Chain A
Amino acid sequence: MESWLVRPISEIAAAVTRGDVSAEEIARASLAAIEHKDPSLGAFLTVSADAALAQARAVDAKRARGEKLGKLAGVPVALKDALCTRGVPTTCGSKILARGARGWHPPYDATVVTRLKEADAVLPGKCNMDEFAMGSSTENSAYFPAKNPWDRSRSPGGSSGGSAVAVAARMTAGALGSDTGGSIRQPAAFTNVVGVKPTYGRVSRFGLVAFASSLDQIGPFAVDVRGAARVLEVIAGHDPSDATSLAEPVGAYEAACGKSPRGIRIGVPEEYFAEGLEAEVSASVRTAIDDLARAGCLIRPIKLPHTAYAVATYYILATAEASSNLARFDGVRFGLRVEPPRGTLADMYGQTRDTGFGDEVKRRIMLGTYVLSAGYYDAYYLKAQRVRTLIRRDFERAFSEVDLIATPTSPVPPFRLGERVKDPLSMYLADVYTLPASLAGLPALSLPCAPTAPREDRPALPVGLQLMAAPLDEERLFTVAAAFEAVSPARSLALPPA
Chain B
Amino acid sequence: MPTETVKGQAFLGEEEVRKVAKLARLELRTDEIVRMTAELSAIVRYVQKLGELDTTDVVPMAHVRLARTVLREDAPRAGLSHDDALAEAPRVAHDGFAVPAFVDD
Contacts and interface: CB of A to CB of B under 8 A. Distances in A.
B99 A332 contact: yes
Nearest to A362: B26
A201 B66 contact: yes
Interface stretch (A64-72, A73-81, A376-384): A376-384
Contact of A385 (B29, B43, B62): B62
B93 interface: no
B87 A357 contact: no
Contacts of B71: 243
B20 A363 contact: no
A425 B43 contact: yes
A424 B39 contact: yes
Contacts of A105: 87-88
16 contacts: A214-B64, A333-B85, A333-B97, A334-B88, A347-B100, A363-B39, A365-B26, A370-B40, A373-B20, A379-B7, A380-B1, A383-B50, A385-B62, A386-B58, A424-B43, A425-B46
Given A334-B89, A350-B26, A375-B7, 11 more contacts: A238-B70, A243-B69, A245-B69, A312-B48, A344-B101, A350-B25, A370-B40, A375-B8, A379-B1, A380-B1, A428-B43
A331 B89 CA distance: 9
Interface string A367-402: 101100101101110111111111010000000000
Contacts of A323: 24
Given A105-B87, A363-B36, A370 B12 contact: yes
Given A353-B27, A388-B61, A425-B43, A244 B66 contact: yes
Contacts of B20: 366, 369-370, 373
A433 interface: no
Given A333-B89, A363-B36, A345 B69 contact: no
Nearest to A343: B100
What are the nearest 5 A-B pairs in CB distance?
A350-B27, A441-B64, A385-B60, A337-B90, A240-B72
B42 to A, nearest CB: 6
Contact of B64 (A245, A386, A440): A440
Nearest to B36: A366
B99 A309 contact: no
A330 B25 contact: yes
Contacts of B5: 378-379, 383
Residue among A200, A379, A390 with max Cβ neighbours from chain B (10 Å): A379
A343 B99 CA distance: 10
Given A343-B100, A376-B8, A349 B25 contact: yes
A446 interface: no
Nearest to A355: B27
A390 B56 CA distance: 11
A107 B87 contact: yes
A441 B64 CA distance: 6
Residue among A108, A353, A383 with max Cβ neighbours from chain B (10 Å): A383
Interface residues of A, number: 78
Contacts of A357: 26
Contacts of B89: 333-334
B40 to A, nearest CB: 6
Contacts of A315: 43, 47
Nearest to B7: A375
A200 B60 contact: no
A172 B47 CA distance: 40
Interface in A295-315: 306, 308-309, 311-313, 315
A335 interface: yes
B94 interface: no
Contact of B66 (A200, A313, A375, A385): A200
Contacts of A428: 43
B86 to A, nearest CB: 9
B55 A383 contact: yes
A369 B63 contact: no
Contacts of B8: 375-376, 379
A11 interface: no
Interface in B78-105: 80, 84-85, 87-91, 97, 99-102, 105
B64 A383 contact: no
Contact of B53 (A245, A349, A390, A471): A390
Residue among B5, B36, B43, B68 with max Cβ neighbours from chain A (10 Å): B43
A193 interface: no
B1 to A, nearest CB: 4
A248 B69 CA distance: 9
A348 interface: yes
Contacts of A366: 17, 20-21, 24, 26, 36, 40
A246 B67 contact: yes
B97 A246 contact: no
A351 B61 contact: no
Contact of B69 (A247, A316, A375): A247
A248 B17 CA distance: 45
Given A107-B84, A366-B40, A386 B60 contact: yes
